[in-house]
Amino acid sequence: MDNKECTEQFSQLSTPMIADACVRLKLAVRSMPAGLTALIPGSKVAGQALPVKHYGSVDIFLEAMLQAKPGDILCIDDRGRNDQACIGDLTALEAASYGIAAMLVWGCHRDTDELVRIGLPIFSYGRHPSGPLKLEVAEPKSIGVAQLGSTTVESNDFVFIDSDGAVFVHKDHISDVFATAKQIYAAESKQAQLVRDGQNLHSQLMFDDYLKKRAAEPALTFREHLRALAKSIEE
């Protein structure tokens, strides 16, 4: 799957649906820590990850861009630092010129007003006026793998980002995840419309019946009840 198809398929979905699809398929939910914020509210992107580790110099980004395909998402590991910014306006302009679709930063950005004018989707954990003050020794493999929170991201991952955060899916699972996420979208859309039409979730999910069954069988879980109805909304 290429970046264009990935973006098209994600257009009607969301990161919660991608995460729920992973749960249903018994795949690990690989996500960024809570608190990720879009520079431009409402930004939503999907594409193949271009991971890179930052060590205090912009040259690692320039080198990574030479490997970029149109629609890739630059995933930057700055170890979640909040005492410096690792990207700014010049990095964003250069990334856009190489067809990069967005930048995802485990750290902070700066040049906020200029970045808004540039318009490239950027997701980070805050803003800071200072750039790096110290150059650190880079690891031998600084491009192609990044540690974003507790998640290791590699170039064979696809990344999905929206207002709820970022989720990563290995390319080998992407077709199954999309198919399952679309099933979830269809089911939840139907349930939501029924609520709007006056049939609340209690009645749709036969909640009173569940409570009676649980009284007789205390070990019965709500998820087991939903599976029996084929109406799971949690997994």
Q: What is the pLDDT of residue 61?
A: 95
Which domains are seen in the chain, by residue range? Answer: 3-177 (3.50.30.40), 200-235 (no CATH)
H-state helical runs in the chain: 3-10, 15-24, 59-65, 89-97, 112-118, 174-196, 201-204, 207-216, 222-229
223 Cα distance to chain centroid: 25
* Residue 22 to residue 29: CA distance in whole angstroms: 6
Residue 231's pLDDT band, with cuts at 50, 70 and 90, is low
Task: Kindly state the percentage of the chain with pLDDT values over 90.
Answer: 85
Query: Angle at the Cα of 132 (from 129 to 134), degrees rounded to 5?
Result: 145
Task: Please state the rounded mean pLDDT for residues 34-58.
Answer: 96
Q: What is the pLDDT of residue 232?
A: 59
Q: What is the pLDDT of residue 65?
A: 97
Q: What is the pLDDT of residue 223?
A: 86
* Residue 118 to residue 233: CA distance in whole angstroms: 39
Strand partners, 8: none
Q: What is the pLDDT of residue 166?
A: 98
Higher pLDDT: 190 or 138? It is: 190
- The answer to whether the CB of 75 falls within 8 A of the CB of 52 is yes
pLDDT in tens, 113-143: 999 999 999 999 999 999 998 877 767 788 9
The Cβ of residue 209 has, within 10 Å, a number of other Cβ atoms equal to: 11
- The answer to whether the CB of 75 falls within 8 A of the CB of 104 is yes
Task: Please state the rounded mean pLDDT for residues 191-205.
Answer: 92
- Mean residue pLDDT of the chain comes to 94
Task: Kindly state the percentage of the chain with pLDDT values over 70.
Answer: 97
Task: Please state the rounded mean pLDDT for residues 142-148.
Answer: 95
Q: What is the pLDDT of residue 234?
A: 55
Task: Please state the rounded mean pLDDT for residues 75-96.
Answer: 97
Higher pLDDT: 112 or 234? It is: 112
Q: What is the pLDDT of residue 126?
A: 97
